[in-house]
Amino acid sequence: MILNSAHRAYMALALQEAQKAIKKGEVPVGAVIVNDQGIVAKAHNNVETKKNACYHAEILAINSACKALNSKFLDECMLYVTLEPCCMCIQAIYTSRIKKLFFGASITPYTKGLIDNSPKMLEVYEGLLEKESQMLLTSFFTSLRNKKTTL
């Protein structure tokens, strides 16, 4: 698959979501769900603000997309997320039957096996706007270390 400007534009939008997260003191991860008609849902990591460790960008984007489409499955949808999904999120992506997953940075290599060995029909494209996604995360954690706080 050739990644065209539309793919980059959607990931840029996910990055904008990640920037919203960083302004709120959240780990900067953003997600966008699109279908053939365009954008269905946008969300960012909201763990600290909403006080729920499961409120990752992907989960919130899936919840929002299901509401927007009034559908329990998202089988015509593509998910763009700035960071490789964690084990919980990758399972939620399978459960909601998302068709294609694009992610940027990769700091959780242990989910790789889950993605590679999945029997599900999920197409995965990694490294889209990887540098930009990674830079946002690095600057967030560097600033956190300088403040000597932890999440």
Compute the least distance from the CB of residue 87 to its own copies, in Å: 5
Least spacing, CB of residue 66 vs its own copies, in Å: 4
Residues in contact with its own copies by CB under 8 A are 47-48, 50-54, 59, 62-63, 66-67, 70-73, 86-88, 91-92, 94-97
Which of 17, 26, 58, 84 is an active site residue?
Answer: 58
How far apart are alpha carbons 69 and 41 in whole angstroms?
10
Is-contact 32 18, C-beta < 8 A? no
| 58 classed as catalytic | yes
Q: Are strands 100-105 and 123-126 parallel, antiparallel or unpaired?
A: parallel
**CA count, 13 A, side-chain hemisphere, 32:** 21
Nearer to its own copies, 94 or 141 (CB): 94
Nearer to its own copies, 2 or 110 (CB): 110
Min separation Cβ 8 and its own copies, Å:
28
- C-alpha distances in angstroms, 45 versus 25, 113, 121? 10, 24, 26
Which two structure tokens, joined as six digits, stand for 47? 């763990």
Catalytic residue positions, numbered: 58
